[in-house]
Structure 1
Amino acid sequence: MLQQTAGLWYIEARPINSTWVPGLTLRISSFMTKCLYWDERNETWSTDGCQVGEKSTPERAQCLCNHLTLFGSSFFVMPNHVDISRTAELFATVSDNFVVLALLCAFFGLYLVTLLWACYADRRSSSKRKMTLLEDNRAGALYNYLISVQTGHRKNAGTSANVTARLFGSEGESDTHNLTDPNKPVFERGAVDVFLLAAPFPLGEVRNLRLQHDNSGGGPSWYINKVTVQDLQTRQVWQFLCGCWLSADRGDGMTKKTFNAAKNNEIASFRNIFQTRTSTGFRDEHIWVSIVDPPSRSPFTRAQRVSCCMSLLLCTMAINIAFWNIPVDQTSPVLFSLGSLQITWQEIMVGVESGLLMFPINILIITIFRSIRPRIVLKSRNKEEGNARPARVTVPSVLRETEEIISLLIRSPRNKMSNIYNLESTADLLPALDKLHELIQLMQGVSESEPHWVYCSKFLLGGLSHLMLCLEQLDERDFLSAEEYQRTRNITNLLVRKAEMVFTSHLAYCPPPVKRKKGTSGCWLPWWCVFLGWFLLLSLSAVSTYFTLLYGFQYGREKSIKWVMSLGLSLFQSIFILQPLKVIGIAVVFALLLKPVAVEESEEIEEVLLEQQRKCRQYTGRETL
């Protein structure tokens, strides 16, 4: 504890000759200072070990002590003082000093123009965000894979051709599927397209992916960057690091390629993680760059990003003008010195205080917008589900359906089915049904149940149920004889009952995998939190604008012009130097820690799965599948 005592004496001396102009006044002041500390042992004030320093003034005492004593000092650097009560008076000077007001009007005008463009771009990209349920999925196939295809960012990387894909696993292979969506363009430059592929049984460990296009359209060349395949039942993920052209006139001139699944060391390599993190960082974490090309599947829209940038800019302006050109504290200790460059404690504290005032609330707003769960409204399908039977059934369509069911089941070696020739007449139906009967007997004889037999029996039950519905719409005139027609119906009905018993038996001993619990893929906020984000954003922007104008009117025109120039340098440094360095630094850290990028999950998966189940119920006429 320090105590200072001081006294002042004033002596005025005037000359005798009072005609002397302007006269002489002599003022002499003296003060007395004493340094004391509280002696806790004797419980009294003491001067032992303390003396007054030569830098003492009437307002401040310098004490030099040879023992430890508690001292108090100011920790924070106060911003420039502004009198809020003079708001009306300062705002009345706008005609003399419109520099800051003109700058804010320019920023707000640019913001409104950019916001209109962002809303238009969001409306266009909203349709591209949807997941695609492949139209050529078999309606009875319910083992689902999510295929995420990432087109590269190179010039003319998108394709106008029709692309097909096929998966090869350790326990079978899928059919060749057309990766197309009638409601949106696919495989545009820099786009990420997600498709739901349904297989009749688990493919096991996915080892290969075959991609091909027909080289059609005005720009068929396609640069494929990466493909991710996810088993929605087991949540297992395989990545295919393609990084090549599928083109007749670029790269190696091939439009059909088979890619191998990446190994763990390839996925966790420094190069792969660094490239992925850098691309994601600039498109999502660099708030300014992300306005132009945000991630296609991010809930953080362009309009929200533009508004967050405006809020961040206004907040930066308010803090910058509050601490601009503050008096330099000569007594502030120098913490770092390199030649003529010196960093003082005062400068460090200004930086810390600016960060504490600016970043927490802005980071909170960005986090809210980034973490809002998309609002998905499931459409009612009751009327469509009520019409379970096909609109028109012919003998060729029945033969084709039966042939497709067998051709899909023989793709798994575990089913031990031989291929069949084309079914040309109703006489070929009975041999085809005999092959399906052999498969049912094989599944009955399996001692240990597992997911393969569960989904195979489910697919077979669905296919036979659909075939039974089709036969009911035919009559005996479509067959060679009434006896053949009746026998075909009886055998099909018998196979349906047997397939149902086999499916129930396997399902009891090997239930399907438990669905992922909600909330395990991350922390999502309810959709109405968007209103909270906008409220915080507008409030922060209004407060920042008010104080920026208040300080600008108080500084005057000349100082305001100097502040605008220093603000421009600060913004340039933040946008083009600090933000990119932050993104690259984070990418390097993640790459050194060998932490792969997490696979994105979305609530839209549930909607697409429900759509596939609805198609299955309509196809089979059964509610239990």
Structure 2
Amino acid sequence: RFQDLSNLKKIGVTPLLDNHVSDRYYYQIIVLTGHRQNAATKSKVYFVLSGDDDQTHVRTFVDPYREIFQRGGIDAFIMSVPKSLGPLNFIRIWHDNSGPGSSASWFLKYIIVRDLQTMEKFHFISQKWFAVEKEDGRIERLLPVASDSEKQQFSYLLTKKTYHSVSDQHLWFSIFSCPPAAKFTCVQRCTSCFVLLFSSMLLNIMYYDLSNAAKTSNRTSSFDLAIGPLHITPEQIGIGVMVEVLTLIPSILIVQFFRRIRSRQQFSPLRQALNKINPNTPIVTSKKKRRAHLTFPWWCLFIAYALSILIILVSIFFIIVRGIEFGDDKVKKWLTSVLTAFFSSILFTQPIKIVFFAIFFICFFRNTNDDVETNEYIDEYQMNFNEDDEEYFQSIKNYSLVNVQARQHVNRLTECEVIHAREQRIKEIQMWSIIREFIIYFVFFFLICSITFASREQNSFLQVQHLRKYFLNTRQSTNDYTQITTVTQFWFWLQNSFISNLRSQQWYNNDIPKYLNGYINDKSNRLIGWATMRQLRVKPSTCSDQRIMKICEKDYNFFNEDEESYSPGWTNQTLDETYSLSINNSFQYRTSNELNTYVFVGEHGTYNGGGYVYEFRGQLKDLQSNITTLHKLQWIDKKTRAILIQITLYNPNVQLLTSITFLCEFLITGEIISTSYFQPLNFFTFTSIFQLICTIIYMSFIIYFMFIQIRVFLRLKWKYFQQFWSLIELGIIVCSWTSVAIYIWRFKESRRISSLFKETNGYVYINLQLAAYVDNLLIYLLGFCCFFGMVKFLQLLRFDSRLLLFIQTLQRAQKELISFLMMFSIVYISFVCLFYFLFVSNMLSCSSLLSTTQMLFEMTLMKFDTSELIEADAFLGPFVFAIFMFLVVFVCLSMFLSIINESFRKARENPVENCEIFPFIMRRFICWSGLKRLSMTTIYAQRDTQMRSQYCNPIESFSDKIDQMLVKIDKLYIDQKIELKRLDKIQFSN
């Protein structure tokens, strides 16, 4: 209702303030402003209308009571002239660019000028910007009168029809954008929307009521997503769209019923304006009749409202009555279909209806005089202009020699002023673009940080720290897992430390641990399933020189892995002694598919997912007995290359899953490398509404960035990949969508694990190795997203002079740096090979190429201890170290600094021009915030500039004063002559 009241204030036909009192020939001018962003203007708009017989002086569009030229607005004016201008030729229109900020520019669609005496209409099509910063930068244009062929162009008609249809015909959008002069009010539109919404809800509930309950409840779909109370399946989406299509026809009928109801009081803005100008002017109704439309009397409005309320109440009644009988699943499906129907109405049926009817009427019912947008402003009231009126005709004839209207001062910008205004406006646009970009990036970075940190549980470190101390026993020298160097130490740690920690035992006061079945001995972590110990072995092989030794052991790889099954003791013979099932199975080879395990990468090698597995199942005494038996049977022997112990724990206190892997690698040199891996997994992300909202908004940002980057790519083609910031944006988009795909997989995996845990009460083996890999990958991707998002902040400082200087320096040194990098890489790789071959057997830092590269990098940074190098070789160590320091540190780094210094000098001598925007922003911010007061010199300079802009040279205004004096004299002469004629008539009649 408030919107309807505000629309009433916008309706009206305004007489121009510069109309002359004695002028009796009237034109109606209708100006249509575009719907584009920043299309409205607050600048003063001037025009000159020219015809075959005459032209007007400079006239001004002014309305003292309401704002004109608003976005998508229609403004009607009455202009009076002394006599007819004849057939109109063109209109010259411009503005003074006096509006603040974006309100200075103006997008003009077209102008309709109607001769109120002959009822002839003239169209002046613009469809251009009057702005210093857009298109061609012009604020003054000459618009010729449009011909019939121009008015019948398909593109012009489609644009005009579509814009009007979206603002008036789209049932949902028109609530907020309905034309002010439309008789179909916002209240009536809201009523029609409620009728449409409740009708679709009723049809949806009728469908689910009539459908077979067994069919709908037991039907499964490959795509089934549950989000809160919504149950999204293709079936529900299809039902919603189908119901919306069915409710389209009733909604069109109720809308047309409202539209065709006549107003109770016929309101004519044009007649009111004409009466305001001259109450004595005779006005007659035009003899031209409009095409008849079916309309209803005003009292049918009550019938329309009553019918709408009845439909809504009936729908609510049946929804409540039938909805009570529905189950929870059916209500979720019904709610999903209702929301689908609602959004399909907004985004699907209404837009298609608009486009279809627009193209249909343009193709088959094209009419150049059918101005739908301005129908409410064009009434069939015709001015009865009688040129036989002797007094008016004589007055025009008498003052035709001095018929010079008083000119007004027009602030018309010169070419230099337009250029200056364009420069200032471009700086303002860049300033607001940077501010808007900064806000968007800040919100985006906040969202990505919220999502990234929400995926990491803050108790993860404490959980891992506790489990490390619990299993590794670093404080006990005899049971320290990290100090294992022999097979005997491994069996000792397994029997005396690991097994006892694997089962919940008595409390410190010898109480039995109640309700802790399945927990490990820390009483906090629940063991999911059981722990497994998997061995990987190699096949027996012979030595190359059998004169010394016949049997040799080789290192592990995928090709020499032993995949045979044995009897206990690694024999192929049948034993008389019987062993438990666990012992027998531990000598049987099982594939990775049977174990649901995957390839594992260790410190020394990469190991397959299969192997010989012992399962830690049973009570504590059984486990101890089995481990002792395995030790006696030499389950670990010379062919053993790796032992992997894998455990999955769940801590319900912090809702963390932990995948633990102990890896002992048995090298052919006799050494044992013991490592451990603790991977906490948080599958319970997005447990709050805030996290879900952040994720949805974040993905909306990603889609928005995708559209922007697609447009940039289409503009730049393959040069797009040569820009640094384009690669950063591409990295964010790729990492984000990959993270979404991985998260969906992890979500399904978490549901599978949860269902297995509920079905078996936790007594089933679940391997989280793959889940841990994928979780790490997800964390890496989110970390890269966070990194790229932080780097994007540097783009906001691209107008800073210092950062621009740094970027220009790197760009100028690009070729030289590439050449230097190639030379430096060759020298560096040469030294890596030299140090590796010289000290591979004497230094741990040179035991591999990767560690050697790391050591030389530390040398370059002067962070290297030379004592280890001297101990390795007293002569070669210091010698090659000195050569490396001289060639790499002194020579190469000096060359690098020389290249940078030379490029920096060239960049400083040739600065870029875009560095002025940052000081401009700082000046605006300081003035806005009041942190610094303007000096008196600056105030006087601004005041002088303003006074010069408003100053009028008396010599220039002399002709205007003479014109005003002539007008007054002419008016006085005409008034006296009319009075004398009136007296003569009275005397003659007497």
Q: TM-score, structure 2 length as denominator? A: 0.33
Q: Does 1:371 align with 2:253?
A: no
> Hey, what does 1:302 align to over in structure 2?
186
**Matched residue type, 1:297:** A
**Matched residue type, 2:371:** V
Q: Where in structure 2 are the equivalents of 1:219-618 lying within 5 Å? A: 219-324=103-208, 326-327=210-211, 358-359=247-248, 361-374=250-263, 375-376=265-266, 515-516=286-287, 520=291, 522-593=293-364, 595-596=366-367, 598-600=370-372
- Listed one character per residue, the Cα deviations across residues 424-454 of structure 1 (whole Å, up to 9, x for unaligned) are xxxxxxxxxxxxxxxxxxxxxxxxxxxxxxx
**Matched residue type, 1:234:** T
**C-alpha displacement of 1:275:** 1.1
CA RMSD of aligned residues (A): 4.4
Normalized per residue, the structure richer in helix is 2
**C-alpha displacement of 1:570:** 2.6
1:271, 1:591 within 8 Å by CA — same for their partners in 2?
A: no
1:273, 1:596 within 8 Å by CA — same for their partners in 2?
A: no
1:317, 1:567 within 8 Å by CA — same for their partners in 2?
A: yes
- Listed one character per residue, the Cα deviations across residues 430-483 of structure 1 (whole Å, up to 9, x for unaligned) are xxxxxxxxxxxxxxxxxxxxxxxxxxxx9xxx9xxxxxxxxxxxxxxxxxxxxx
Change in Cα spacing, 1:199 to 1:564, as seen in structure 2 (3 Å) is: same
Match of 1:147 among 26, 29, 44: 29
**C-alpha displacement of 1:252:** 2.7
* Structure 1: gaps spanning 5 or more residues: 1-118, 329-346, 390-457, 463-510
- Listed one character per residue, the Cα deviations across residues 61-111 of structure 1 (whole Å, up to 9, x for unaligned) are xxxxxxxxxxxxxxxxxxxxxxxxxxxxxxxxxxxxxxxxxxxxxxxxxxx
In 2, Cα distance between equivalents of 1:239 and 1:604: 15
Change in Cα spacing, 1:306 to 1:136, as seen in structure 2 (3 Å) is: same
In 1, Cα distance between equivalents of 2:92 and 2:268: 34
Q: TM-score, structure 1 length as denominator? A: 0.50
Q: Secondary structure at the match of 1:158?
A: coil
1:378, 1:607 within 8 Å by CA — same for their partners in 2?
A: no
In 1, Cα distance between equivalents of 2:268 and 2:151: 36
**C-alpha displacement of 1:575:** 2.0
In 2, Cα distance between equivalents of 1:307 and 1:168: 47
> Hey, what does 2:62 align to over in structure 1?
180
In 1, Cα distance between equivalents of 2:135 and 2:185: 35
1:274, 1:590 within 8 Å by CA — same for their partners in 2?
A: no
Q: Secondary structure at the match of 1:243?
A: strand
**Matched residue type, 1:283:** S
- Listed one character per residue, the Cα deviations across residues 496-547 of structure 1 (whole Å, up to 9, x for unaligned) are xxxxxxxxxxxxxxx9996246765745544443323222221221112112
- Listed one character per residue, the Cα deviations across residues 162-221 of structure 1 (whole Å, up to 9, x for unaligned) are 112222222322343221111100011221111122333333322211112222231322
Count, aligned residues: 360
Change in Cα spacing, 1:269 to 1:603, as seen in structure 2 (3 Å) is: closer
**Matched residue type, 2:306:** F
In 2, Cα distance between equivalents of 1:513 and 1:572: 50
In 1, Cα distance between equivalents of 2:143 and 2:62: 20
In 2, Cα distance between equivalents of 1:183 and 1:609: 26
Q: Secondary structure at the match of 1:244?
A: strand
**C-alpha displacement of 1:289:** 1.4
Q: Secondary structure at the match of 1:167?
A: strand
2:28, 2:79 within 8 Å by CA — same for their partners in 1?
A: yes
1:273, 1:590 within 8 Å by CA — same for their partners in 2?
A: no
Q: Where in structure 2 are the equivalents of 1:50-89 lying within 5 Å? A: none
Identity within the alignment, %: 30
Q: Secondary structure at the match of 1:228?
A: strand
**Matched residue type, 2:168:** D
**C-alpha displacement of 1:265:** 1.7
Q: Secondary structure at the match of 1:172?
A: coil
Match of 2:42 among 160, 163, 180: 160
In 2, Cα distance between equivalents of 1:378 and 1:253: 39
Change in Cα spacing, 1:120 to 1:554, as seen in structure 2 (3 Å) is: same
In 1, Cα distance between equivalents of 2:22 and 2:179: 34
Q: Does 1:135 align with 2:17?
A: yes
**C-alpha displacement of 1:268:** 1.0
2:182, 2:376 within 8 Å by CA — same for their partners in 1?
A: no
In 2, Cα distance between equivalents of 1:150 and 1:604: 12
In 1, Cα distance between equivalents of 2:49 and 2:296: 35
> Hey, what does 2:71 align to over in structure 1?
189
Match of 2:82 among 200, 208, 213: 200
Change in Cα spacing, 1:588 to 1:360, as seen in structure 2 (3 Å) is: closer
- Listed one character per residue, the Cα deviations across residues 43-72 of structure 1 (whole Å, up to 9, x for unaligned) are xxxxxxxxxxxxxxxxxxxxxxxxxxxxxx
> Hey, what does 2:593 align to over in structure 1?
none
Change in Cα spacing, 1:234 to 1:378, as seen in structure 2 (3 Å) is: closer
Change in Cα spacing, 1:539 to 1:548, as seen in structure 2 (3 Å) is: same
**Matched residue type, 1:324:** Y
Change in Cα spacing, 1:266 to 1:321, as seen in structure 2 (3 Å) is: same
- Listed one character per residue, the Cα deviations across residues 241-266 of structure 1 (whole Å, up to 9, x for unaligned) are 21112233433333222101222222
In 2, Cα distance between equivalents of 1:122 and 1:517: 32
In 2, Cα distance between equivalents of 1:246 and 1:538: 48
2:15, 2:77 within 8 Å by CA — same for their partners in 1?
A: yes
> Hey, what does 2:803 align to over in structure 1?
none
**C-alpha displacement of 1:298:** 1.2
2:200, 2:341 within 8 Å by CA — same for their partners in 1?
A: no
**C-alpha displacement of 1:606:** 6.0
**C-alpha displacement of 1:351:** 6.6
Q: Which protein has the larger Cα radius of gyration, Structure 1 or Structure 2? A: 2
**Matched residue type, 1:313:** L
**Matched residue type, 2:35:** H
